[in-house]
């Protein structure tokens, strides 16, 4: 997701929207999150420092998304794609992860650069992990526009015969039930329409865990990324084995 805010909103109001949106989501999901103080085994495995690349055919994975992939506020080795690569190695999957996350990107920005990213890979990826929509929601952009942009990206990936794992978001309740109904429904609908695999809510593992969120109240900390990796690595490995 983003740090820059849309010019159409006053800066202070946009910051209030961003913070209140995330806190509302946290309240919504906190009852289903892990208990504070419970150390996730998968996260510990994902962050193990001595993991070596395994043998076997290389699997090229490109993660295309916003700051949740780019690693906003984290050290270079702490971004989601970097840690996911090591977690896949630990499972015996010889994966190479390309981090194509850009902080602040909306679905429109992702749509504009998708072709360039794919054309500049050494070969056709074995999997694209696609994660946009959080910035559209934080800017209260129309869900119809976000859905159209995601659909265009998924259609292009399908045209190129590249498998996709779509990572979804949820709209904050304070944006209203109509907005939430349209926004939340687009991810499962698009995944079904284009035959993509789906992680319904990328941030689910860290919601309700203030200790796993940075001071901006939006982005996961490095331990938070560990938890997200632990929750998603099996799904990624399954898609690479398909």
Tell me the two tokens of residue 25: 């989501």
Catalytic residue chosen out of the listed positions 67, 103, 136, 226: 67
Give, for all 242 residues of the chain, the pLDDT tens digit.
Answer: 654 333 333 444 444 445 445 545 544 443 333 333 333 444 444 454 578 999 999 999 999 999 999 999 999 899 999 999 999 999 999 999 999 999 999 999 999 999 999 999 999 999 999 999 999 999 999 999 999 999 999 999 999 999 999 999 999 989 999 999 999 999 999 999 999 999 999 999 998 899 999 999 889 999 999 999 999 999 999 999 98
Residue labelled with tokens 């698009």: 190
Q: In angstroms, rounded to a whole number, what is the distance separating the alpha carbons of residues 106 and 146?
A: 8
Instruction: Please return the burial class of 226, using the count of CB atoms within 10 Å of its CB with bins 0-12, 13-18 and 19+.
Output: buried
pTM, to two decimals: 0.83
Instruction: Catalogue all structural domains in the chain, each as residue range(s) with its CATH number.
Output: 11-32+41-241 (3.40.50.1110)
Q: How many residues does the chain have?
A: 242
Told to judge if 219 belongs to the known catalytic residues of this protein, a careful annotator would answer yes
Catalytic residue among 47, 126, 219, 226: 219
Cβ pair 180, 21 in contact under 8 A:
no
Q: Which of 189, 188, 167 is nearest to 239 (CA)?
A: 167
Annotation says 216 is catalytic: yes
25 contacts 170 by C-beta, under 8 angstroms: yes
């Amino acid at each position: 997701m983003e740090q820059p805010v849309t010019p159409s909103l006053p800066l202070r109001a946009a910051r209030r929207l961003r913070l209140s949106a995330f806190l509302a989501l946290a309240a919504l999901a906190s009852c289903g999150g892990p208990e504070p103080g419970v150390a996730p085994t998968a996260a510990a495995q994902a962050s193990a420092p001595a993991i070596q690349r395994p043998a076997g055919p290389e699997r090229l994975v490109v993660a295309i998304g916003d700051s949740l992939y780019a690693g906003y506020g984290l050290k270079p080795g702490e971004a989601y794609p970097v840690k996911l690569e090591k977690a896949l190695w630990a499972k015996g999957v010889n994966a190479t992860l390309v981090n194509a996350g850009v902080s602040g990107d909306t679905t429109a920005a992702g749509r504009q650069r998708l072709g360039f990213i794919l054309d500049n890979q050494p070969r056709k990826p074995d999997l694209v992990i696609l994660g946009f929509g959080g910035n559209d929601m934080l800017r209260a952009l129309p869900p119809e526009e976000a859905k159209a942009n995601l659909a265009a990206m998924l259609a292009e990936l399908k045209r190129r015969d590249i498998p996709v794992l779509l990572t979804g978001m949820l709209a904050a309740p304070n944006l209203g039930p109509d907005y939430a109904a349209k926004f939340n429904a687009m991810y499962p609908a698009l995944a079904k329409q284009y035959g993509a695999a789906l992680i319904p809510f990328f941030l689910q593992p860290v919601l309700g865990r203030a200790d796993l969120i940075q001071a901006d109240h939006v982005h996961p900390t490095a331990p938070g990324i560990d938890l997200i990796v632990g929750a998603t690595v099996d799904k990624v490995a399954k898609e690479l084995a398909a």
